[in-house]
Structure 1
Amino acid sequence: MAIPVEAFFLTGGTAGTLQSRIRAMVTEGILAGRFRPGQKMPSSRGLAEHLGVSRITVTLAYADLVSSDYLTARGRSGYFVSDNAPRAPEFPAAERPAEEVDYGALSARRYTRAMAGVDRPEDWEKFPYPFIYGQTDPTLFDHQNWRACALRALGRRDFASLTSDFYERDDPLLIEQILRVILPRRGIAARGDEVLLTLGAQNALWLAATVLLGPGRQAVVENPCYPGLRRILQTSGAGVASVDVDEAGLPPRLPPADVVFTTASHQCPTNATMPLDRRLQLLDAASREDFVVVEDDYEFEMSFLKPVSPALKSLDKGGRVIYAGSFSKSIFPGMRLGYLVGPPAFIAEARALRSMVLKHPPGHIQRTVAYFLAEGHYDALINRMRNAFRRRRQVMDDAISEHGLTVAGQGGFGGSSFWMAAPEGVDTEPLAQVLRADGVLIEPGRGFFDPAREERRFYRLAYSSIAPARIPDGIARIARALARSG
């Protein structure tokens, strides 16, 4: 029995090429059991006319399905569902089990309670004025060379790096590139046994906090700070003290601590840069008072106004600094690839902890990034992003000045955001909801602060994912909303 052409239809909004979408329709029908072995497929001409696509698109999709053994070609008779096509296991429909266990009570909700942070809609790219942090602009990304590096990493020569289980090890080619290309730019000299790859900076901070902290130990964090770090520390069992930052970042006089977390080069979210003398004071205090510093150097590549100061790790003479870096802001956030740099004994412990959750980041991603670095595409991408961000920053700075908005912190070397202050008495969370209805996304500041001393008048405006031409109108809408708020 032939499969009727009406069994196929293309829906709007589906990702992928027409060829891949046709292939997906066929494979889904076969795996779901709707199309049975031996059934004849519609002719390529008939399906093309029905779907409104070219015949060659259907022919190529059918040829691909034949090579995967979903279909078989029988000369002039056409295409048929293969007798060897993969089949999904068939089970009777199961009823949903009764929920007899209160898992919220069982877990004490210790993780979901810690999830409060910065609210960003999942469909942010549909908003015309997305002043949100950490998202990429597809017009700046080097799609062609990234694809070439990914295809090279898929080649037969790299088959082992793609398919092998490295156990607890990382791709030596990527480690070499981090040691030779990335770390020297921060003044850091390291060996292979002093670097561990992570699934982004968040994973790096979790590994560092879990290794270094626990019940009975004390952490110091900046206030305000990265909300993800605060969530990690809430569940660590350690005591946490928040220290207010000033225009130069974290002050050198700190309460007693075992571990101090800082974003010295680009304070999150105020963008303050810690000057060299204060960095040296912090390291002196770490040696004198016997604590470890975890340095999150998350945006050092975006230095286009003036060079950044040396990393704390580069000034470290006693092995007291654990350095966390990430490719999420420089390549793209969805990749989730970062790294830790520290003394071999710390890295060995962090590697053992990582192995309890995952052996290593995916090998194909590691090798692709290694080629992207080795062939110089990373440097070209960073240069393009710096130039674009410099232009966007100037446009935003001009618009902010024109509309009389208040900048609370914008950083001295670049970055990708402004830290803003609304007038006294304005709560930026309701303001954000009003602006969202007007197509504008901002990040309210409350989630960055210690809950015991939260501030509601601050907000962050980022320019990494908004087109320069939209910035002035977006800023004008923010100014009008603030004026209406009184």
Structure 2
Amino acid sequence: MIRHFLHVDFDAQRGLQEQVRETLINAILSGIFPPDAPLPSCRALAAQLNVSRNTTALVFENLVNEGYLLSRPRSGYYLHPDYHQPQVNPTLAAPVCESAAPRWGNRLKIQPSQQESILKPAGWMHYRYPFIYGQPDTHRFPLASWRAAANWLHGGIRDPAWVVDHIDQDVPMLIEQIRTRVLPKRGIVAAPDEILITLGSQNALYLLTRLLMSPDTRVAVENPGFREAINTFMLADTRIVPHAVDEEGLVLTDTPCDYYYVTPGHQVPTGVSMSKARRAQLLDYAARHDAVIVEDDYDSESNFMQNPLPALKASDRSGRVIYVSSLSKALSPGLRLGFMVADPDLIDEARALRRLMYRHPPANIQYQMAHFLAQGYYETHLRRYHDDSARRWEMLASALHTRLPECTLMAGSEHANAFWLRTPEAISTQQLTWRAAHAGVLIEPGARHFLDATPPDNFFRMGFHAINPDAIAPGVDVLRGQLEQM
């Protein structure tokens, strides 16, 4: 018998059968087992992996039932013929192509990788003090209620409507939940044909860019602003027109634009909430100059202010506001589930364009989210999320006030989901970020948010959802130590 040494670095958080099965599947698909020789016996594999014989026997039987293996009495388990790996005949190898590979750099029409963007370390979770924005506390995800929604979806009692291709249609149940449960909280009244489900709000911005923008289009953006939105608009070679931000939000200029992209709930990255007066001014300005407003209400559900102002869309009387938002920001950013509210004619075209890209967001996720909303699980989670966010905000605000008083918070940004801080002019936050990271503190330098030719280098951002609350004050102490050494 040919011996094959298989190794498993067992994870205590996962089942033994699951991990043994995964190891065997990888071995089968990679072709390490010869087709004419038996696999290791249940007893031999159990001894090799230091697991029970029952564990390996159950895995082998399961692989037989699923067609990976054949069981031969008194002989053992063999590969099913479908998984025999034929030997490669060197004489039949593919001919060597003498021409050079395509020069892809010369063929690319756009190069998104060259755009200025906000970079975050892939291993942010390994930092001791991750003051990073946009990542959740994974321990607070409502796993039990999300699993209950999944059990409802996969219960087998109903017709699995999520299995079929919906072509370009969304799940009516989710549209109805958004229309009756989500939008009213923002003061928005919408018909079903005015709502489109998207893969996050970023996907909605891409659809709008492809549909509405060209090199002749002037798009007003906040400065500093949300880089990924600006990068998306630039894919259409639009003329980006930066607008300053003060304690009331975007500052209008005398030069009208075709579109105004704003984040009025909490401006990105400053956290400023656009005032009532500035909102009214923007709506009036857009009507007088035949402009359209793209309202990115990205934190509509994660906004933990006691009485947040209604959305701009709620005051829209002329159909000039396109509203985009997220359903997953406060729940699980990895779900990538958002929506857009606009005139039915625009929604129809966005739906047609979406069909050409990916048809529709996964129907199973739409159904599961719809049930999650309908059962009240989402509201329960949001109440807890808001309470936790308010507590974390107060803890970080207190730590910054007492330990880093020289770093000032922008006026009008209270209770945002991140802190936008200004250091003394002599401090380079690029250098501070580098020094802090080596001390285990992760913050985000602010220069990349600016569109200035020479962006200021004395701003940085701090989130508070990904860090352990008990580590907030100690983390600020470490940051202060690094600041004092500069």
| Cα pair 2:390 2:415 within 8 Å, conserved | yes
Q: 1:362: Cα distance to partner?
A: 1.2
Change (3 A) 1:300 1:484: same
2:338 aligned with 1:338, yes or no?
yes
What amino acid maps onto 1:251 in structure 2? V
Change (3 A) 1:237 1:414: same
Give TM-score scaled by structure 2 length. 0.92
Mapped to 1, the partners of 2:387 and 2:339 lie a distance apart of: 26
Deviation digits for residues 58-92 of structure 1 (CA, Å, limit 9, x no counterpart)? 344334323322234456x4851353555679877
Give TM-score scaled by structure 1 length. 0.92
In structure 2, the residue matched to 1:260 is 260
In structure 1, the residue matched to 2:60 is 62
| Cα pair 1:117 1:228 within 8 Å, conserved | yes
In structure 1, the residue matched to 2:288 is 288
Change (3 A) 1:52 1:176: same
Deviation digits for residues 117-152 of structure 1 (CA, Å, limit 9, x no counterpart)? 222111111111111111121111011221232233
Change (3 A) 1:59 1:177: farther
Q: 1:447: Cα distance to partner?
A: 1.3
In structure 2, the residue matched to 1:32 is 30
Mapped to 1, the partners of 2:300 and 2:85 lie a distance apart of: 48
In structure 2, the residue matched to 1:249 is 249
| Cα pair 1:410 1:417 within 8 Å, conserved | no
Q: 1:222: Cα distance to partner?
A: 0.4
Mapped to 1, the partners of 2:157 and 2:267 lie a distance apart of: 43
What amino acid maps onto 1:214 in structure 2? S
Deviation digits for residues 26-71 of structure 1 (CA, Å, limit 9, x no counterpart)? 1122222222456434343432332123444334433432332223
Change (3 A) 1:63 1:376: farther
| Cα pair 2:150 2:368 within 8 Å, conserved | yes
1:226-237 to structure 2, matched below 5 A, reads 226-237=226-237
Mapped to 1, the partners of 2:22 and 2:142 lie a distance apart of: 28
Change (3 A) 1:84 1:158: farther
2:77 aligned with 1:80, yes or no?
yes
Change (3 A) 1:70 1:341: same
What amino acid maps onto 2:64 in structure 1? V
Change (3 A) 1:349 1:22: same
Q: 1:198: Cα distance to partner?
A: 1.0
In structure 1, the residue matched to 2:16 is 18
Q: 1:265: Cα distance to partner?
A: 0.9
**Structure 2: unaligned runs, 5 residues or longer:** none
In structure 2, the residue matched to 1:308 is 308
What amino acid maps onto 2:200 in structure 1? G
What amino acid maps onto 1:80 in structure 2? Y
1:463-482 to structure 2, matched below 5 A, reads 463-482=464-483
Among all aligned residue pairs of Structure 1 and Structure 2, give the percentage whose two residues are the same amino acid: 36
2:344 aligned with 1:347, yes or no?
no
What amino acid maps onto 1:104 in structure 2? G
Change (3 A) 1:411 1:144: farther
In structure 2, the residue matched to 1:149 is 149
SS of alignment partner, residue 285 of structure 2: helix
Mapped to 2, the partners of 1:432 and 1:417 lie a distance apart of: 16
| Cα pair 2:271 2:414 within 8 Å, conserved | no
Change (3 A) 1:53 1:99: farther
What amino acid maps onto 1:205 in structure 2? L
Mean Cα deviation higher: 346-355 or 458-467:
346-355
| Cα pair 1:248 1:275 within 8 Å, conserved | yes
Deviation digits for residues 286-332 of structure 1 (CA, Å, limit 9, x no counterpart)? 11111000000011223334211010011111110000011231111
Q: 1:203: Cα distance to partner?
A: 0.8
Mapped to 2, the partners of 1:172 and 1:82 lie a distance apart of: 46
How many residue pairs get matched?
481
Mapped to 1, the partners of 2:171 and 2:240 lie a distance apart of: 35
1:411-422 to structure 2, matched below 5 A, reads 414-422=415-423
Q: 1:425: Cα distance to partner?
A: 2.5
Mapped to 2, the partners of 1:96 and 1:484 lie a distance apart of: 59
Mapped to 2, the partners of 1:206 and 1:178 lie a distance apart of: 21
Change (3 A) 1:234 1:44: same
Q: 1:453: Cα distance to partner?
A: 4.8
Deviation digits for residues 347-406 of structure 1 (CA, Å, limit 9, x no counterpart)? 111112212211011111111111111111111111111111111111111110111242
2:377 aligned with 1:377, yes or no?
yes
